[in-house]
């Protein structure tokens, strides 16, 4: 595993980095190591006059090379909303209708339509409304564009990740700089809008921000993949599935039976998405599942894990785990990290601490060139001042800035670029080949 210079990345990247946005934002720090600072609240009644384009986003329930799921939140309709898609240069339309399911304890519905059997690496046109089915009348038609994932990792492509968004101006600013990178998708590792399982208005505002700003410069929608965070769940930890009131109505297509899961992109990329104790305990069934899941995917060119609470925090003091404080990563280090090392996980994306961080490649918590790097730490729209590498020697790089990470895959090479809301490159890191092939 080799760190790269900014010059190396810029030279190797066909698209380069986006131009800088307006810089200069206020930051704040938190004193309590166990509880996040109060998120920005979104008051007022739940909107009832939503139309599809207000909250429409794309996600996946299975292989992103051949499927797409279209979703939005809105009032119940008497007839299912028609949709259709076609390759941008084609004329053979696929049609479908959106199922409707409750959006928590509100009168609104989640509208969902999945298309399967799509062509990999293809740009599609999506229509929602009147023209999707000719016999329907009275619908307003909206057209969108999106891409399916490539069939193989032979071509260079990139995606973005981060966590701890909220609904404030910095979250929007990071949305904008993320979209400028033309990512194939965004992975949000928990704490999306900070609805805390109680505020439908906040959950909807997050979707409205995403629908408005997560569109790339060519007008394509950027699909969203997520995993669970404490601010999706009433009480944060040790909750029930029903406590994630507004999260699972949106993402239960991927998390049908559990609160953790895997998304496999053909045979070249696997995202293993974990629940760091918010509903499912870290140990026990989830760890057993994790071991079998990693063992099955050990040979994938890219095997990446995402979870919310970090095993190696940049703000919280891991020593506080001895006091039983939640959200310090102790259970991750006991149950999960040995499995990441055993099965050659290429990177772990973690969040929750509201900073930028990258660890050294780690084995047994110590720097090891064949170890696992941990990237994060969740400052898409929330911010704290991190601890220093002198106090936490596992840290290789830290920063006090709103950011997300651009992950650029080139065959079996990976480049991870931390990009601040302002457009400044905070960090560049690259890895070659499979770490598992190098261990003795």
CATH number, domain of 376, equals: 3.60.21.10
Q: Is residue 291 part of a domain?
A: yes
Q: Is 160 exposed, middle or buried (0-12, 13-18, 19+ CB in 10 A)?
A: buried
Q: Is residue 402 part of a domain?
A: yes
Q: Is residue 155 part of a domain?
A: yes
Q: Is residue 129 part of a domain?
A: no
Can you tell me the distance from the alpha carbon of 430 to that of 5, in angstroms, rounded to the nearest whole number? Answer: 9
- Is the separation of the CB atoms in 187 and 349 below 8 Å? yes
Q: What is the pLDDT of residue 154?
A: 73
Radius of gyration of the chain from its Cα atoms, rounded to whole angstroms:
21
Q: Is residue 256 part of a domain?
A: yes
Candidates 300, 313, 305; CA nearest to 437 is 300
Residue 85 has which token pair?
Answer: 């898609």
Candidates 283, 403, 297; CA nearest to 346 is 297
Handedness of CA 240, 246, 249, 255 (dihedral sign): negative
Q: What is the pLDDT of residue 219?
A: 95
Instruction: Sheet containing 261-265: give its strands across.
Output: 261-265, 269-273, 302-306, 347-349, 374-376, 356-359, 395-399
Contacts of 122 (CB under 8 A, 6+ apart): 87, 88, 147, 148
Which portions of the chain are predicted below pLDDT 50? Answer: 1-41, 134-139, 436-440
Q: Range of 413's domain?
A: 2-14+36-41+150-438
Q: What is the pLDDT of residue 189?
A: 97
N- to C-terminal Cα separation, the chain: 15
Q: Is residue 389 part of a domain?
A: yes
Task: Give the total number of structural domains in the chain.
Answer: 1
Candidates 129, 188, 134; CA nearest to 164 is 188
| Cα-based distances in Å from 65 to 33, 55, 96, 160 | 41, 24, 19, 17
Q: Is residue 368 part of a domain?
A: yes
Q: What is the pLDDT of residue 431?
A: 81
The enclosing H or E element of 398 equals strand 395-399
User: In this predicted model, what pLDDT tens digit does every residue of 122-166 receive, in sequence order?
Assistant: 999 999 986 555 434 344 567 899 999 999 877 789 999 999 999
Q: What are the phi and psi torsion angles at 248 (to 5°)?
A: -70, -30
Q: What is the pLDDT of residue 45?
A: 79
Coil, helix or strand at residue 87: strand
User: In this predicted model, what pLDDT tens digit does every residue of 14-37 receive, in sequence order?
Assistant: 334 333 323 333 332 222 223 334
Q: Is residue 422 part of a domain?
A: yes
Q: What is the pLDDT of residue 327?
A: 75
Q: What is the pLDDT of residue 132?
A: 53
Candidates 97, 144, 154; CA nearest to 123 is 144
Can you tell me the distance from the alpha carbon of 241 to that of 219, in angstroms, rounded to the nearest whole number? Answer: 36
- Is the separation of the CB atoms in 280 and 288 below 8 Å? no
Q: What is the pLDDT of residue 46?
A: 86
Q: What is the pLDDT of residue 141?
A: 61
Q: What is the pLDDT of residue 322?
A: 62
């Amino acid at each position: 595993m080799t760190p790269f210079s900014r010059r190396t990345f810029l030279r190797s990247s066909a698209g380069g980095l986006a131009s800088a946005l307006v810089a200069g934002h206020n930051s704040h720090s938190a004193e309590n190591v166990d509880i996040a600072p109060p998120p920005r609240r979104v008051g007022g009644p739940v909107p009832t006059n939503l139309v599809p384009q207000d909250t429409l986003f794309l996600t996946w329930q299975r292989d992103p090379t051949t499927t797409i799921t279209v979703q939005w939140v809105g009032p119940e309709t008497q007839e299912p909303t028609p949709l259709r898609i076609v390759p941008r240069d084609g004329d053979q339309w696929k049609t479908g209708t959106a199922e409707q399911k409750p959006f928590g304890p509100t009168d609104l519905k989640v509208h969902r339509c999945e298309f399967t059997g799509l062509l990999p690496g293809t740009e599609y046109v999506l229509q929602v409304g009147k023209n999707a089915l000719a016999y329907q009348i009275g619908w307003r038609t909206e057209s969108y564009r999106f891409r399916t994932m490539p069939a193989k990792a032979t071509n260079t492509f990139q995606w973005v990740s981060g966590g701890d968004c909220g609904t404030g101006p910095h979250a929007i600013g990071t949305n904008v700089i993320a979209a400028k990178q033309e990512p194939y998708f965004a992975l949000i590792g928990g704490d999306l809008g900070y609805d805390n399982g109680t505020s439908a208005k906040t959950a909807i505002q997050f979707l409205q921000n995403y629908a408005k700003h997560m569109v790339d410069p060519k007008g394509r929608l950027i699909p969203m993949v997520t995993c669970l965070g404490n601010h999706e769940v009433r009480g944060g930890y040790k909750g029930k599935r029903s406590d994630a009131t507004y999260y699972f109505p949106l993402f239960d297509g991927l998390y049908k039976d559990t609160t953790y899961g895997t998304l496999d992109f053909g045979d070249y990329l696997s995202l293993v998405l974990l629940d760091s104790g918010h509903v499912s305990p870290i140990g026990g069934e989830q760890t057993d599942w994790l071991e079998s899941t990693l063992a099955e995917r050990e040979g994938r060119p890219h095997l990446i894990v995402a979870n919310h609470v970090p095993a190696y925090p940049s703000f919280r003091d891991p020593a506080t785990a001895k006091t039983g404080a939640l959200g310090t990563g102790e259970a991750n280090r006991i149950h999960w990290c040995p499995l990441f090392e055993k099965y050659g996980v290429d990177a772990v994306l973690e969040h929750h601490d509201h900073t930028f961080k990258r660890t050294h490649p780690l084995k047994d918590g110590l720097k090891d060139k064949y170890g696992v790097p941990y990237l994060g730490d969740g400052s898409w729209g929330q911010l704290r001042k991190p601890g220093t590498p002198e106090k936490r020697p596992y840290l290789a790089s830290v920063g006090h800035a709103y950011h997300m990470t651009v992950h650029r895959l080139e065959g079996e090479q990976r480049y991870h670029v931390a990009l601040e809301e302002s457009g400044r490159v905070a960090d560049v890191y690259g890895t070659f080949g499979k770490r598992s092939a190098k261990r003795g």
